[in-house]
Chain A
Amino acid sequence: SQQGEEDPQALSIQEGENATMNCSYKTSINNLQWYRQNSGRGLVHLILIRSNEREKHSGRLRVTLDTSKKSSSLLITASRAADTASYFCATDVVTGFQKLVFGTGTRLLVSP
């Protein structure tokens, strides 16, 4: 079963706008990761944030983590048409090995 929910399920914006996606999860985690999936392709790792971190940046990506609320957000700034994809959060639950539990995903459409 999925770990949690992502919100919104779908997001449509114009190039240059910012996109924010939210993820909620259920259990204690070691870290939380965000992945991108283009249509019909595999998952590409974007960024990892550890449970003791609150915010992390990578290029145009900004991730926040609130372990008290069991939630995370991914912000993509100055979006481009090439950012069109599905975005998934994945939690590395505390099991003794790295078992990723994915959310349901947000489908992002960036129009030129």
Chain B
Amino acid sequence: GAGVSQSPRYKVAKRGQDVALRCDPISGHVSLFWYQQALGQGPEFLTYFQNEAQLDKSGLPSDRFFAERPEGSVSTLKIQRTQQEDSAVYLCASSPPLGDTQYFGPGTRLTVL
């Protein structure tokens, strides 16, 4: 595709529900990143994949957050037992081999009631 796509664009969940957020990176991009952006703040790093390998998950806020990229393309960020503090925009980005620039998707705005 032309760019990074994410779905859904908006998600409302009741506290305690599980959610799954999808990211389709640009074709051929081996690196994939997830970021969390709270209202009025800059994005904060969650996790990084190189192909299917999750090389860094140091930014995941708790063990309720889980990310996967089983075939080295599409990635899913799963949040179990959502809490109100999980409300944020979740951004996905990808970059090509040896590339410095990350290309961001439009984000998924998650609201936990």
If the complex has contacts A97-B55, A102-B42, A104-B42, are A48 and B101 also in contact, measured as CB distance less than 8 A?
yes
A103 to B33, CA, bound (A): 17
**Interface 0/1 of B28-57, CB less than 8 Å to A:** 000101010000011111001010000110
Among A43, A97, A103, A104, contact of B56 (Cβ-Cβ < 8 Å): A97
Q: State which residues 38-71 of A face B: CB under 8 Å.
A: 40-45, 48
Q: Is A100 a contact partner of B45 (Cβ separation < 8 A)?
A: yes
Residues of A with C-beta under 8 A to B95: 98
Q: Is A45 a contact partner of B101 (Cβ separation < 8 A)?
A: yes
Which of B13-21, B64-72, B74-82, B103-111 makes up part of the contact surface? B103-111
Q: How many A-B residue pairs have CB under 8 A?
A: 61
Among B33, B55, B91, contact of A42 (Cβ-Cβ < 8 Å): B91
Which range holds the interface residue count of chain A?
A: 20 to 34
A90 to B91, CA, bound (A): 15
The residue in chain A whose Cβ has the minimal distance to the Cβ of B10 is A40
Chain B binding surface, main DSSP class: strand
B27 within 8 A of A: no
Q: Is A103 a contact partner of B42 (Cβ separation < 8 A)?
A: yes
B84 within 8 A of A: no
Q: Is B104 a contact partner of A43 (Cβ separation < 8 A)?
A: yes
Which residues of A approach B to under 8 Å, CB–CB? 1-2, 31, 33, 35, 40-45, 48, 88, 90, 92, 95, 97-105
